[in-house]
Amino acid sequence: MATEQLTEQGPDASDDRGDLAGVLRYYELAKRAEWQVRDLPWGEVPPIPEYSGSPEKIARRRDMWRSVVTQQLQADELAVEMAAQLFSLAPDREAKLYYTTMVQDEARHTEAWLKLTDEVGGRGERDPYLDRLVEMTLGADTLEEKVFGIQVFYERLIIPRFRMIARASQGTVLEDLCNRLTVDDGIHHRSGVAYERVLLQGASRKTKQKLVEAGNRLLPVFVQHALWRPKAREVIGRLMRETDMRMLKEDIEHGVRLAKSFGLDVSEIRIPV
Ligand SMILES: [Fe+2]
Ligand SMILES: [Fe+2]
């Protein structure tokens, strides 16, 4: 009996610990990549791109950039809450240690966006679908659903958006911040993939099934979020529709491939685009 238990649990348990060592490596990586809000080039370069032209044109452009900053501020404010929840729920020491860095990262991102918001004259419009998505994720039953939704899915797809913003805002504080967030969110994503593998190795069929069901509930709201534009970017939204749809489709398909690589049965996933 004892031998049986040993052979049954032994290799699995040590494999899990081995994979957790992988999660711990992201803790060390995150510590090395840490930066401070004061490291941004405040006062040396403009906060957002500057334009010449009529006062109306300048005001329109400012509103547009303010809406970009607002959306990212909203996302990082919510990320603080989600990272704190992951930190408090994760049962493994290695993951908990890693999440201490993610909570700090998201808080620091929020600090930078708040400062930038002040520099551009306050907040713009809030994305109601992002609020809904986060509410659903915070209320999810299992840690597996949360790690998948936040780190595996969302943290990856925000990266190309930061690259797009950085390209359009060269020589500004905004560009510098987006470049830093690309690095940080890359770590948030990869650490989540590593931890989700550990979690799903030991997960029951029921937990896996619930994850797929949660995906089907989240995806339609995610589509609304991805296609939503505040008034200040309505025109650009129409021009970008094709690019948005293409990126959205690729993001969802990539998410489904990742889910499959975790051994999830994705045949029941309904792609809403
Ligand atoms: Fe962030
Ligand atoms: Fe993040």
Q: Average per-residue pLDDT in the chain? A: 91
In a domain, 22, yes or no: yes
Tell me the pTM.
0.91
Give the separation between CA 209 and CA 200, rounded to whole angstroms.
Answer: 11
- Span from the CA of 113 to the centroid of ligand 1 (angstroms): 10
For ion ligand 1, residues whose CB falls within 5 Å: 76, 79, 106, 109
**Can you read off the two tokens belonging to residue 262?**
């975790």
Asked whether residue 11 is domain-assigned, the answer is no
How many domains, in total, are found in the chain?
1
Task: Show the domain range for 83.
Answer: 16-35+43-268
How far apart (Å, rounded) are the C-alpha atoms in residues 85 and 81? 6
Report yes or no on 1 lying in a domain.
no
Residue with tokens 């049962």: 91
Report the alpha-carbon distance of residue 247 to residue 47 in Å, rounded.
27
- Give me ligand 2 centre to Cα 155, in Å: 6
CATH number of the domain that residue 122 is part of: 1.10.620.20
- 10 located within any domain: no
**Per the domain annotation, does 183 fall within a domain?**
yes
State the pLDDT at residue 12.
Answer: 43
Quick one: which ligand is closest to 150's CA?
A: 2
Q: Ligand 1 centroid vs 52 CA: distance in angstroms?
A: 32
- pLDDT for the residue numbered 232: 85
Give residue-wise pLDDT tens across range 199-219.
999 899 999 999 999 999 999
CA–centroid distance, 67 to ligand 1, in Å, is: 17
CA separation, residue 66 to residues 21, 47, 173, 181, 261 (Å): 41, 11, 13, 18, 39
**What angle, rounded to 10 degrees, do the helices at 93-119 and 2-33 form?**
30
How does residue 5 score in pLDDT terms, banded at 50, 70 and 90? very low
Question: How does pLDDT run across 82-108, given as a tens digit for each residue?
Answer: 999 999 999 999 999 999 999 999 999
